[in-house]
Amino acid sequence: MTVIPAIAGWRRRLSVSLLVMAGCISYIDRAALSIGNTAIMSSMHMSYTDMGWLLSVFAWAYLVSQIPAGLLADRLGGRMLLGAGLCIWSCAQIGFGLMQGVAGLFVCRILLGMGESPLFLAGTRVLVRWFPPAERGTVIGLFNGSAALGPALAPPLLLAIMAFQGWRGMSVSIGVLSLLIGLLWVFYYRDPTGTASAPFRPPSVLRDDLGYLLRQRSSWIVTAGFAGIIYLTWLYATWLPAWLQSAYHLTAAQAGLLSALPQICGFAGNLTGGLLSDRLMSQGMGRLEACRRPVVLSMIVAAVMTGLTALNTGLTISMFFMAAALFAGGVAMSAGWTLGTVIAAEHRVATLEAIQNTGGSLGGALAPVITGIMVDHFGSFAPSMLVACGVGLTCAAIYQFGLRETDASDSHAPFPISPFSLPDPANQGTIK
């Protein structure tokens, strides 16, 4: 068990602040390609299909790196692992703005995905070391919220830089900012003194844990379902500005600023999903059902709203549809992530979340490339929106019919912690 010593409040606040800044800048780095994609396509003579592959290659690298990053997060200190990740992705982002060939752009996006892969796994472990269980919910929720806040902040910030420095200068500038945060982390972060480290687990035990989880039906259900959630939400994150420019003939600046509004709704949805699961659990609903029901209902809403964007309804109504879709997608993402704490034992939660997030990365990799290919073929984003609608409805069906109440150990046990915090031993499920 981890012992939390009496430590200076400023040091804890510094750790949280640096992690939130890192979370926000990581998503701003990811969004840079979406904001500048039309300018990059023109400059580098790329088609929509080419851009779709470039947008998706980050997610493929992120996918491949998830489980290794999760295992490293359990072994290495957060100071060096996160510091190395920040430096790698910062240099990749800087290099992206300096590349003269398309192949170099792909290499930089691959390195960006690899560098960002340990951030949220190792960052959560850092917060667990600094905060006792009763205080973890708020800070871990704030850290996870940076994943939704970053895309909302990205359009105005990146467009302002791009207006003066172009897409190359924009990439270099935010890469330098990321590098500064990385240096601050390495220089100022220290693990709290007097904490007991987790006992060493032999590699064979870790292999057994991973193998055991991969043999469980519920692991595959949540992984497949999460792939659908991320497919739908990442479609907006990667193609929304270009879709607004293509469908409504907006300028890059107008499209970028408008795309921030649905992302803000996504941020609100992420926070709402956790609160909703807590409320349902407090009213006596089983822990698994309290997570599954918001996922299923919100994914139906997100899918229908996404399908409606294919209609020629005008900019205002289309923006409403997209905002509703991303709000519902945020609810599903938060509640879906919580399911891992319900069906896995405490010592396997991080590994299960890494497996689940591998599925999410697959969805994030497929969404932009499939969309790019379809836009090139049909000359419109409408068919790709209908495909995303189908993916969302399939995702809802997977969660509804794939999971059973018996996948949680005690379906009516109280849920003692925030859905963003790590599981308590009293909240362990049947995957043990």
- pLDDT at residue 245, as a whole number: 84
> Considering the chain, what percentage of its residues have pLDDT values greater than 70?
83
63-67, 133-137, 219-223, range with the lowest pLDDT: 133-137
The rounded distance, in Å, linking the Cα atoms of 300 and 277 is 17
The rounded distance, in Å, linking the Cα atoms of 142 and 294 is 21
For domain 202-432, the CATH class is: mainly alpha
- pLDDT at residue 174, as a whole number: 92
Residue 417, CB-side half-sphere exposure with 13 Å CA sphere: 23
SS3 letters across 228-256: HHHHHHHHHHHHHHHHHHHHHCCCHHHHH
Confidence of residue 1 (pLDDT cuts 50, 70, 90): very low
The rounded distance, in Å, linking the Cα atoms of 73 and 125 is 7
5-9, 210-214, 333-337, range with the lowest pLDDT: 5-9
pLDDT tens track for 123-136: 777 776 777 654 55
> What crossing angle do the helices spanning 315-343 and 217-248 adopt, rounded to 10°?
160
Q: Which of 68, 394, 92, 419 is nearest to 273 (CA)?
A: 419
Tell the residue number behind the tokens 């960052």, with chain if given.
123
Q: Which of 54, 72, 187, 75 is nearest to 119 (CA)?
A: 72
C-beta atoms surrounding 46 within 10 Å:
18
Decide if pLDDT at 305 tops 90.
yes
Most confident region among 351-365, 369-383, 414-428 by mean pLDDT: 369-383
Residues of the chain with CATH 1.20.1250.20: 9-189, 202-432
Decide if pLDDT at 91 tops 50.
yes
Decide if pLDDT at 117 tops 60.
yes
Most confident region among 170-184, 280-294, 349-363 by mean pLDDT: 170-184
pLDDT tens track for 144-168: 778 778 888 888 888 889 888 888 9
* Distances, alpha carbon 361 to alpha carbons 230, 358, 392, 416, in Å: 7, 5, 16, 29
Decide if pLDDT at 329 tops 80.
yes
Decide if pLDDT at 387 tops 90.
yes
119-133, 199-213, 242-256, 277-291, range with the lowest pLDDT: 199-213
Q: What value does the mean pLDDT take over residues 277-303? A: 88
CATH of domain 9-189: 1.20.1250.20
Q: Which of 210, 191, 213, 267 is nearest to 236 (CA)?
A: 267
Q: Which residue has the higher pLDDT, 198 or 277?
A: 277
Residue 136, CB-side half-sphere exposure with 13 Å CA sphere: 21
Q: What value does the mean pLDDT take over residues 261-270? A: 85
pLDDT tens track for 186-211: 888 877 765 444 444 555 545 667 78
Confidence of residue 27 (pLDDT cuts 50, 70, 90): confident
E strand or H helix that includes residue 402: helix 382-402
SS3 letters across 142-200: HHHHHHHHHHHHHHHHHHHHHHHHHHHHHHHHHHHHHHHHHHHHHHHCCCCCCCCCCCC
2-6, 68-72, 330-334, range with the lowest pLDDT: 2-6
- pLDDT at residue 384, as a whole number: 93
Confidence of residue 224 (pLDDT cuts 50, 70, 90): very high
pLDDT tens track for 33-52: 888 888 888 888 888 888 88
- pLDDT at residue 2, as a whole number: 45
Q: Which residue has the higher pLDDT, 418 or 405?
A: 405
Residue 296, CB-side half-sphere exposure with 13 Å CA sphere: 13
Q: What value does the mean pLDDT take over residues 102-120? A: 91
* Contact by Cβ (8 Å): 199, 54: no
Decide if pLDDT at 254 tops 50.
yes
